[in-house]
A and B are shown apart, each in its own frame.
Chain A
Amino acid sequence: MNKIVSVKNLRKSFRRNIKVSFFKDLFKPQVEVVDAVKNISFDISKGESVAFLGPNGAGKTTTIKMLTGLIYPTSGEVKVLGFVPFERNKEMLTRIGLVMGNKAGLNWDLTANQSFELLKYIYKIPSNEFEKRVDELATLLDAKNFLNTQIRRLSLGERMKMELIGSLIHKPEVLFLDEPTIGLDISSKQKIRGFLREIQKSGVTILLTSHDMDDIERVCDRVIVINNGVKVYDNSINKLIQKYSTYKYIKFIMNSENVELSVKGELIERKSNALTYRVRKEDMPKILAETVANVHLIDIDILPVPLEEIMSDIFRSSTKI
């Protein structure tokens, strides 16, 4: 497969002032060097959809910023579409797109269509192709009605849809997304996730950071977990769930309320006639057999441990290391 992104021993350090006292800070400031990213290596192939995961300050956004050429790495090699990102080659910039959930790329005082027109000049898109593209993307996002509304009058979800159109108008080969669904309601999130999947199917490589595990599960096939600047996991989501999921959730639904069960596991939730336990995978058959034999049950649900919990375990264990 075609390598779209190639990263070797990437490192980024920041200098940070340490506050001592007013006069010392003024005349002899003390500085410490903090490693935000420590020797990370990975490759991404054409058409992949990859999530960067990690707790706040883990180094995932710093990695994305180095990949888009926004910040210079301290050491290591990065190539995106064969270009060194921080050289900001115009051809590379024409072939990538960036969406940041907490930053506005479109002018708030203009309508989306007016803002897109400026992008038409920047990316040198022919007029007929431009109109077709806007129409196509707006249809996919169900956002045609907002194209002529001033950006500041749009809701957060509608605005994010416009930002997505703006970032894809020039048909980028790689799309970088930093928290694209932050603060959005569930229906907007679902629309955007579906849209990103469609875009990926058309051959766009997606690199995404998000704290929302549903974004990751719905949009990405591969996960790179970063903690304390170090890569701690790099494989498919399914393998991640298989590897780290040593527990299962079992939900027992009974025909009467206030029934107590003797189950070897942690009680996660109690809801009138339903009890949910977190149990070890190997204990599950025995627990099921015993409970079915002793209690009158209406239903049983066996659920995988949520990705969120798996991630939290990975972050904890990698922090200990």
Chain B
Amino acid sequence: MMQSVFDNTKILLANIKYTFQTETAYRIGNLVSVFSTFFYTITYLVFIDVIFSNVDTVAGYSLNEMNFFFLLSQVTAYTFFIINDNISKLIESVNSGNLDLILTKPVSSLFYTSFSKIRVYSMTRDMLPPLLAVIFIINWSELNLSITSLMLGILILILGMLIAQAFLTICALPVFWIGESKQLFNVAQDSWFASGATVPFEGIPSFLKFTFIFLIPGIIPSALATSVALGKSDALTALGVSFFVLIIFFVLRSILWRIALKNYTSASS
């Protein structure tokens, strides 16, 4: 078990290194995306500011807390792009039959397809400037943050992203049966993304909370993590629920992955 974790970590680090080399292989880098993310961030901050010029709080969140929520939802979004990249690549590989060359390697195929491309360089390049702006805007001393609550919030964010990875992989698996799953995957990622990015945890109705925690687990890494970090939700309950959902989705993904591989037809190109 420990040996397997050690081996997988080595491959993971190698993947990060070679994705970095791939990203920097071309001398003329495209920096346009930095402007795009920066512009989006500024627009959204202005939008929040306009709303709070008419009201004092939204779902119990002050402007400052809302900016903090925006910060965590943006971290979630940029991390999400790594997951999205790899799952899209998985769908293409199954379609083209290129998965063959991964399945014949002595690595966990699920692990390898999940983390074969980790775009640290472009993620940092696109994420850092706009998020630095948000970090600068937040009045940190006014937030009800403690080291413990912040750490718990970050832990829930990490668990939420792992759940997202499992959930979205499951949504991509029909490609093994019907040869296509891009549409379903797009619906799943849009629902996941939309559910957690805009409304604070306290503002979501109970039946939607259930849906977006257990069925389309989109509110865990951003809304729930923010709520825990700000001390608005019970941290232990939130952590327990997150672990439970993680286990359910991991087990489901593992079972469905095995069934999917049995149905792999290995397209000849």
Contact = CB atoms under 8 A, between A and B. Distances in A.
Nearest to A14: B265
Nearest to B107: A122
A103 B269 contact: yes
A94 interface: yes
A195 interface: no
Interface stretch (A38-46, A67-75, A307-315): A67-75
Contacts of B264: 70-71
B98 interface: yes
A318 interface: no
A122 B106 contact: yes
A70 B264 CA distance: 7
B104 A107 contact: no
A121 B22 contact: no
A90 B106 contact: yes
B264 to A, nearest CB: 6
B10 A121 contact: yes
Interface stretch (B11-19, B119-127, B165-173, B215-223): B11-19
Given A110-B22, A118-B15, A123 B101 contact: no
Q: Is the interface of A mostly helix, strand, loop or mixed?
A: mixed
Contacts, number: 71
A218 interface: no
Given A98-B101, A109-B22, A110-B25, A121 B14 contact: yes
B79 interface: no
B237 interface: no
A93 interface: yes
Interface string B98-128: 1011011111010000000000000000000
B25 A103 contact: no
A61 B97 CA distance: 12
Contact of B266 (A70, A114, A115, A123): A70
A124 B103 contact: no
Contacts of A91: 106
B211 interface: no
Q: How large is the interface on B (under 10, 10 to 19, 20 to 34, 35 or more residues)?
A: 20 to 34
A86 B268 CA distance: 18
Contacts of B21: 109-110, 114
A71 B25 contact: no
Contacts of A102: 268-269
Interface string A16-35: 00000000000000000000
B104 A69 contact: yes
A88 interface: yes
A119 B103 CA distance: 14
Most buried by A among B7, B104, B109, B266: B104
A71 B99 CA distance: 11
Given A104-B98, A118-B18, A123 B269 contact: no
B100 A100 contact: yes
A100 to B, nearest CB: 6
Given A90-B106, A93-B106, A98-B104, A110 B18 contact: yes
Interface in A73-108: 86, 88, 90-91, 93-94, 96, 98, 100, 102-105, 107
Contacts of A109: 21-22, 25
Contacts of A93: 104-106
Contacts of A245: none
B10 A70 contact: no
A110 B26 CA distance: 10
Contacts of B269: 102-103
Given A110-B18, A118-B14, A100 B101 contact: yes
Most buried by A among B96, B264, B266: B266
A123 B11 CA distance: 10
A94 B104 CA distance: 9
Nearest to B93: A103
What 10 pairs across the A-B complex have the smallest Cβ distances?
Answer: A93-B106, A109-B22, A90-B106, A105-B101, A121-B14, A94-B106, A98-B104, A70-B266, A109-B25, A102-B269
B107 to A, nearest CB: 6
B11 A61 contact: no
A249 to B, nearest CB: 34
A69 B99 CA distance: 12
Contact of A150 (B10, B14, B25): B25
A104 B10 CA distance: 23
A107 B97 contact: no
A131 interface: no
